[in-house]
Amino acid sequence: MGFLQSALTTSLLLASNAAALDPIVMKGTKFFTKNGEQFFIKGVAYQQEAGGGPGGSTDSKNKYVDPLADVKVCQRDIPLLEKLGVNTIRTYAIDPKADHSECMSMLDKAGIYVVADLGEPALSINRDSPAWNVELYERYKGVIDNLGQYDNVIGFFAGNEVTNNNTNTDASAYVKAATRDMKKYISDKMANGGRWMGVGYAANDDAEIRINMAQYFNCGDQDSAIDFWGYNIYSWCGKSSFTESGYDVQVKFFSNFSVPVFFAEYGCNTVGGAEGRLWDDTTALYSDEMTGVFSGGIVYMFHEEENDYGLVKVSGNTATPMKNYKVLQSKLADVKPSSTSMGSYNPTNSPAACPAISKNWKAAEVLPPTPDSDLCDCMYNSLSCAPVDDLDEKDYGDIFGYICKNDAAACAGIKQDAETGVYGPYGMCNPKQQLGHVLNAYYTNQNSAADACDFNGAAQVVSAKTDSSCEASLAKANSAVAVAATATAGSASSSSTGESSENAAAPATVRMTPFMTMGDMVISLYVLVAMGVGAGMVML
C-alpha cells in the first residue's frame, strides 16, 4: 500500500504541475509555438560563472553550481526573471543526475523556456585538444534525458566558443560531430513519441572565422548541421547604433541563413560597467530592422559577479535588482517585434556551402565517428598486449611518445586529423583503451617479439578474448585503421610544417621524456586526444 500511495501522490503532483507552455518548434529560420505563433527569445543567461561570457572560461578546476537544482534559489530568482520580462533563460552547466522538476515547473508557470549547454567545465570539448569520445557522449545524452522531459526546453548548445580564433578551427569538427549525434539521439526519441528539441552552437564574434564558422555548422548533411545558431556578440557598447555596432552587417549576412539565428549572449559592459548599459541594443534587436532575420537574444547575465555583467546582486538569500535590470525591464516591456504565423510562412533559404580548407579554416566536412563504448570494450578485450592494471595515467605519455615516434602506423587507430577528415576508430575510447590499442598494434608490428610488450613492466602479454558479437564491428574498425594508416603514411610529404611524420608527442597532461623535443609536436594528431578530457579546461 505504501508504494501505491506514493505512486498516486507522485501522479497527482505531476498532474498539478502540468506544463502551461506550448513546446517550441522550428520552421525554416524561425521559431514558433505549437499553435503557430512566432516566438522571439527574450532571454538572460542564468548561471553563476561556469564558462560563459566573452571568451569563455579556460580553467578546468572551475566548479559549477547547477542553477536549476536548488529549489530555494529558484524561489528567490524566478520571480525576478518573470518581472524582468524574459521568456527564456540559458544555462551553461547542469547536473544530469539532479532533480530539476520543481525549478522547471516554476519556470514553466512563469512563462520561461530553457536553452541549456550540454557540457560542464570539466567535461566538454576542449579547443586545445579536441575529442568526441564515449565519456562526453554519455554526458551529453544525460543532459538531454534529464531536461528533455520538460516541455519548456527549447534545445541545447553542443558547444560555446569552442573554436574562438583561427588557431583552433579543427575543434569545430568535434562539436559538429556532437551536434550530429545528439540530433540523432533526439530523433530516435521522437520516433518513440518524444518531441522536437533543437541542437545548436554558440559562436563568438571573430572577424577572421565568423563566416566560415556559420557556414561550416550549417552546411552539408542536414542531419549533422545545427538546428539553430547562437551568436555571442558584444559590439554595441554605450551609445551606439545599428550601423556603428555592425548589427547591419550581421543582418545582411544571416539573411541567407537557413535556420533560426539569435544572440546567445549580448550586453557590452565596456562603457560604465554593468550599470552603464543602456540596453538600446535590446530595442534594436526586436525592431523591424532585425526581426526578419534574428529571433531575439539572451542578455549576459543575471548574476552580478567579478566580471561586472550582472543584472542582480545576490547576497545570501537576498537578490537585489540593479539599476541596469530596471533599464532592461523597461526596454523589454516596450518591444513589440513584428511576426508572422507558421501557416503563412514559407521558408526559401538553403543551407550554406561548406568552407574550403584554408589558413583560417582547418576543419573538413568529414566528421569524427559516433562514440561507441561497445566497440572500445570489444577492442580492448581482443588485445594480446595491454597495459598492466596498475599503470598510472601520468606514465601513458612516455609510451605513446615512444611508439608513435618509432612506429607511426601503430598509432593510426587513434589518429585524429580534422583538416584531412581522417579519424582512427579508437580516438573515441578512454585513455587506457587507446593505450592498449597502440601497445597491441606495436607488438603485432614487431612480430610479437617478447620484448615488444614490456616497456619496463608497463605492458604485459594477455590472452585475447574475442566475443562473436564483436567480430563485425572489429572487422569494420580494422578497415578504418588501415585507411588511417595509409593516410598517416602519406601525410609526411604534404605536411605544411615540413616536419617528418615519424615524430610524435605525448598527450598534454603527461610528462615527456627527454627524447621528446618540440619538433615531436607535429604528429600530436595521433595521441593528443588520448587523454584530452583531462588535458585542461574544456570549453562549454
Helix (H, G, I), strand (E, B) or coil at 465: coil
Question: Hey, which residues does 203 pair with through a beta bridge?
Answer: 231
Q: Is the Cβ–Cβ distance between 459 and 453 less than 8 Å? A: yes
- Residue 161 appears among annotated catalytic residues: yes
Q: Which residues pair with 386 in a beta bridge?
A: 460
The SS3 assignment for 14 reads helix
Residue 92 grid coordinates:
551553461
Distance between CA 421 and CA 525 in Å, rounded? 12
Count of Cβ atoms closer than 10 Å to residue 321 Cβ: 15
- How many Cα atoms occupy the beta-carbon half-sphere of 71 within 13 Å? 4
| H or E, element range at 113 | strand 113-117
Instruction: Find all residues with CB under 8 Å of 482, minimum gap 6, and list them.
Output: 412
Active-site option among 49, 120, 161, 304? 161
Query: What does the alpha-carbon distance between residue 185 and residue 237 come to, in Å, rounded to a whole number?
Result: 40
Given 244, 265, 304, 365, the catalytic residue: 265
**DSSP designation for 350:** -
The residue with cell 522550428 is 26
Grid cell listed for 26: 522550428
H/E run at residue 231: strand 228-232
Q: Tell me if 345 sits within 8 A of 39, measured CB to CB.
A: no
Cα–Cα distance for residue pair 121/507, rounded to 1 Å: 20
Per the DSSP assignment, residues forming a β-bridge with 24 are 33
The dihedrals phi and psi of 384, each to the nearest 5 degrees, come to: -105, -20
**Three cell numbers written together for 395:** 606514465
Q: What is the per-residue burial (b if ≥16 Cβ within 10 Å, else e) of 414-426? A: bbbbbbbebbbbb
**What's CA 118's distance to the chain center, in Å?**
6
Chain centroid, CA 130 distance in Å: 11
Dist. CA 418–CA 39, nearest whole Å? 36
Q: What value, to the nearest 5°, has the Cα angle with vertex 229 and ends 368 and 268?
A: 120
Residues annotated as part of the active site: 161, 265
